[in-house]
Amino acid sequence: MTPQEIFSQLPRNRVGEADRRYMNEVLDAGFSNTKDPAGIGARFERAFAEKFRVKYAIAMNSGSGTMLSALIAAGIGPGDEVIVPTLTAAATAFVVVECGAVPVFADIDPVTFCIAPSDIERKITPFTKGIIPVSIYGLSPDYDAIMALAKRHNLTVIEDNAQCFLGTYKGRLVGTIGHCASFSFQGSKHMTSGGDGGATVTDDEAYAREIRKISHQGFKTLSGRAGEGVVPRNLRQDWAFERHDRLGYNFRISAMQSALGLAQLERLDYLVAARRYIASRYEATIRETGCDWLTPPVTPEGLTHAYWTYVCKLDEKRLGADWREFRKRYLANGGDGLYSAWRPVHLEPIFRSMAYFGGSRERSPNFDPRYRGTVKSYQEGDCPVFEGMQKTLCQFKTSFQTLEKTERQAEALRLTILSFKR
Ligand SMILES: Cc1ncc(COP(=O)(O)O)c(C=O)c1O
């Protein structure tokens, strides 16, 4: 596909003809007591499952509810530990606390920035019940090693693919390797269902059913099949119907969000191709300018990157300036923002204090009497690789929807690199 072909398929403001058509279908069908008279939710779930070649896709209102329901459905709760990377959105660790378990933070591989299997192994205890590996910035972690550890220790693996759409790992679509996978449709992601949304996918029928029930208010009769998030009318209207056989949350996606999600899913190949093309433009710029103080991201053999962002390591010594100066210069040259890496999650104030439920740390899962493990605090030194590297990472945006904007950004980077050469 040429860049022109890719970008010709992308509406500038991310709202296209199909988005409007599906939204209008929902509006034309109107809103009755039935949640989704247009049946758009079922169509979106079916299409998402087909795209990722899995049996079940359960759409929700966020990529956090997706992970929380997957944890609870796996039977994970108070007394358990779940291993998460320290380089991720806090949501990956929040959901562990929200289900009552203890997050255990693993360090990253310094080359791929993904969770390091060696550190997972070091942190597995008799209390570990799950791992949430994250395809950070759009690149899959080493799933062969992770799945081998999971098998050996009988752990549930929930892939956090919020940032990875259509990435592959050794010929497999990322999202089809763990016991289930979570996707986010929040606004910064490859596709969005109107600013927020998410989906969990799995091939496991029983797991899918429990995930559906937990995210759809615990109704007894629901299933993981597309659109089966509503109790059939003859059942739900009957006086004898016992509705709830488990605790549930309301993480349902709306019909309007599903309409947008369906339209964006139809052009997902182009949305991902655009991010890959934008990454290639940054890469070419670094190469062509002979810049030796920005290290481009590395994609290991056999993997394909989905480039949620394009992340380089900045060598401040070689550059002779610091990260903030580099960012200032990039912005002055027309760069559209430059993000640092998030702070290591285990050092965020809420994890340092563990005052998740107000009051003292004694109310946290780490001090629950059912928890027999030893993780009683989070501190510097827990994940030294990422702690030492966080300040050097530069995330260049890849979310541009036009070729002109893409070229302007590559030019901004070129000018910035050259300006430091003088
Ligand atoms: C890696 C990662 N995990 C989880 C989330 C949470 O997703 P959501 O905002 O849809 O709840 C995000 C992004 O927001 C993310 O980037």
Tens-digit pLDDT profile for residues 209-260: 999 999 999 999 999 999 999 898 899 999 999 999 999 999 999 999 999 9
Which pLDDT band holds residue 124 (cuts at 50, 70, 90)? very high
369 C-alpha vs ligand 1 centroid, how far in Å? 30
pLDDT at 144: 98
159 C-alpha vs ligand 1 centroid, how far in Å? 12
- The mean pLDDT value for 123-135 works out to 98
Which pLDDT band holds residue 422 (cuts at 50, 70, 90)? low
Which atom, in ligand 1's list, is nearest to the CA of 64? 11
- Residues listed for the chain: 422
Residue 58 falls inside a structural domain: yes
pLDDT at 38: 85
70, 81: one domain: yes
Of the candidates 130, 126, 118, 115, the one whose C-alpha atom is nearest the C-alpha of residue 346 is 115
240, 282: one domain: no
Residue 353 falls inside a structural domain: no
Q: What is the residue-averaged pLDDT of the chain?
A: 97
Which atom, in ligand 1's list, is nearest to the CA of 186? 10
Residue 371 falls inside a structural domain: no
pLDDT tens digits, 347-364: 999 999 999 999 889 999
- CATH code where residue 185 lies: 3.40.640.10
Residue with tokens 């108070």: 78
114, 167: one domain: yes
* Choice from 184, 196, 257 to test ligand 1 binding pocket (greatest atom count within 8 A of CB): 184
167, 56: one domain: yes
Q: Is the pLDDT of residue 381 over 90?
A: yes
Residue with tokens 């002055």: 332
390, 280: one domain: yes
* Choice from 61, 69, 165, 186 to test ligand 1 binding pocket (greatest atom count within 8 A of CB): 186
Of the candidates 358, 267, 313, 218, the one whose C-alpha atom is nearest the C-alpha of residue 10 is 267
Residue 224 falls inside a structural domain: yes
137, 159: one domain: yes
252, 155: one domain: yes
pLDDT at 192: 98
Dist. CA 276–CA 306, nearest whole Å: 7
pLDDT tens digits, 137-177: 999 999 999 999 999 999 999 999 999 999 999 999 999 99
- Look up residue 65 and give its amino acid: G
- The mean pLDDT value for 8-19 works out to 96
Task: Please say which residue of 224, 240, 267 terminates a domain.
Answer: 267
46, 191: one domain: yes
Residue 40 falls inside a structural domain: yes
180, 152: one domain: yes
pLDDT tens digits, 310-351: 999 999 999 999 999 999 999 999 999 999 999 999 999 999
331, 412: one domain: yes
Which atom, in ligand 1's list, is nearest to the CA of 134? 1
199 C-alpha vs ligand 1 centroid, how far in Å? 11
210, 225: one domain: yes
Domain of residue 314: give its range.
269-341+386-421
Residue nearest to atom 14 of ligand 1 (CA): 186
pLDDT tens digits, 200-216: 999 999 999 999 999 99
C-alpha distances in Å from residue 270, one per residue of 8, 11, 113, 202: 9, 11, 26, 24
Q: Calculate what percentage of the chain has a pLDDT beyond 70.
A: 100
255, 288: one domain: no
Residue 88 falls inside a structural domain: yes
Which pLDDT band holds residue 37 (cuts at 50, 70, 90)? confident
CB within 6 Å of ligand 1 — which residues? 62-64, 88-89, 91-92, 134, 160, 162-163, 184, 186, 198
pLDDT tens digits, 64-77: 999 999 999 999 99
Task: Kindly write down the DSSP assignment for every residue of 263-288, as one continuous string.
Answer: HHHHTHHHHHHHHHHHHHHHHHHHHH
Residue 350 falls inside a structural domain: no
pLDDT at 191: 98
Q: Is the pLDDT of residue 35 over 90?
A: no
Residue 327 falls inside a structural domain: yes
Residue nearest to atom 8 of ligand 1 (CA): 63
- The mean pLDDT value for 48-57 works out to 98
Which atom, in ligand 1's list, is nearest to the CA of 185? 10
Domain count, the chain: 2
- CATH code where residue 290 lies: 3.90.1150.10
190 C-alpha vs ligand 1 centroid, how far in Å? 12
Task: Please say which residue of 206, 233, 267 terminates a domain.
Answer: 267
Dist. CA 344–CA 366, nearest whole Å: 19
Task: Please say which residue of 241, 267, 293 terminates a domain.
Answer: 267
419 C-alpha vs ligand 1 centroid, how far in Å? 36
